[in-house]
Amino acid sequence: MATVNRIRSAWTPHLAGASRYSAPSSLTVQRTFATAAPEPIASHSITKRPSTSFKDKLNAGPALADFVTGSSGVEQALTPEDALELKTAMVGPKGKKKEITRLPEWLKTPVPTGDNFKKIKNDLRGLNLHTVCEEARCPNISDCWGGSSKSAATATIMLMGDTCTRGCRFCSVKTSKAPPPLDPHEPEHTAEALSRWGLGYVVLTSVDRDDLADGGAHHFAETIRKIKQKAPTMLVEALTGDYGGDLAMARTVAQSGLDVYAHNVETVEELTPSVRDRRATFRQSLRVLEAAKQAKPSLVTKTSMMLGLGETDAQLEAALRELRNVGVDVVTFGQYMRPTKRHMKVVEYVTPAVFERWRQRALDMGFLYVASGPLVRSSYKAGEAFIENVLKKRAGVGKAEQVVREAMDEAQEVTA
């Protein structure tokens, strides 16, 4: 390090007469320049920091590849016993830990990605539209919005806002006694968005609007007519509420030109009071489905039920018989999955084998088509299911296109 030596006199005029101070005649001061290079430190003076036990354990542990593909670098298939095993874990602070059941392997889904997914989401935000896929936190959003092809993609648009007047214990859609007023431009915006996406099948659903005199039925019907005007080849399913038991409103929607009328009973009659809002009843839902079928006998009617809520086989069988008695054509079964801790708990995780058993049982009872599986939802892959299994079975593979054209002509007559 560079240094400069300077000699400074210790004598000062005002101290000349002060004989009591005896200071040295001169003082040597060393100064360093800020820009000077530091002197090298001897290597023997550096001591290496010892490795920590945490770092040692981390380096000796599994790498990311072990979690992704297994330690051998090849993905290991689970045995049937391992795949169906329910695992538990202890959670919570010390002294208050409780045991929970982890989500089974067959209910885990990938993070939503893909160009179709991004495009649909951006369009929804731009047109101020809502989907039940997002609001209800559906696990199949990536599959449905992506589809096996662009025309096979399925989207479920939620009409009349994102706030419901009812509070079912299984549903994560937000609730209010006085939701915002309806958007008069929503039917046009919805039709424009759907025609832009080029989807083959769309499901329209809505929140319950008990604050409206007609429950929003005319708004719903107007949206369907607008869609058919802009995209005549698109198949439209309407998943409606019960309109407070007003069957005239159910008939209004059924005659609006749609292809499938859906209304979900959600669960068996015995569990309905503890699962759904008190204003919804199993019998009322049956009457709505029956009224839709009577208003248009050729209309495909559909409902959905959740399993894992504590229902018994006898109760489920009785519910299916009631649905067939009112002419319901399509039924779907899916696993109830708790959206948040504020919602009712899962009583049972039903295995895929049990879902398959109920699918076959429902087909034996005369349902036209049954979708049954842990991740099946009312509108999950609805496009593929309807086109491949309902139209083709009802009209024959060679006549399916003719049935679609007739449905389009009928829809155009309604709008005239």
What's the token pair of residue 205?
């659903």
Neighbours of 56 (CB within 10 A): 10
**Per-residue pLDDT, 168:** 92
What's the token pair of residue 117?
């997914």
Give dist(CA 22, CA 19) in Å, integer: 7
Strand order in the sheet with 201-206: 130-131, 154-159, 201-206, 235-239, 260-262, 300-307, 330-335, 369-372
Render the burial of 150-180: b for 16+ CB within 10 Å, e for the rest: eebbbbbbbbbbbbbbbbbebbebeeeeebe
Give dist(CA 185, CA 51) in Å, integer: 66
Single-letter amino acid code for the residue at 362: A
Give dist(CA 233, CA 382) in Å, integer: 16
Render the burial of 283-292: b for 16+ CB within 10 Å, e for the rest: ebbbbbbbbb
**8 Å CB contact between 236 and 194:** no
Looking at residue 160, the DSSP 8-state letter turns out to be S
**Per-residue pLDDT, 93:** 81
pLDDT per residue rounded down to tens, the chain (416 residues)? 454 444 444 444 444 444 444 445 455 555 555 555 556 555 555 555 565 665 565 555 555 555 544 444 444 554 555 555 566 667 778 777 776 666 666 555 555 555 666 666 666 656 566 665 655 556 656 566 555 555 555 667 889 988 999 999 988 888 999 999 999 999 998 898 888 877 778 889 999 999 999 999 999 999 999 999 999 988 899 999 999 999 999 999 999 999 999 999 999 999 999 999 999 999 999 999 999 999 999 899 999 999 999 999 999 999 999 999 999 999 999 999 888 888 899 999 999 999 999 999 999 999 988 989 888 876 655 555 565 556 556 555 445 455 545 554 554 454 44
Give whole-number Cα distances, 113 to 43, 145, 146, 233, 392, in Å: 54, 9, 8, 27, 31
Give whole-number Cα distances, 296 to 72, 209, 409, 411, in Å: 60, 24, 15, 12
Give dist(CA 300, CA 322) in Å, integer: 17
SS3 304: strand
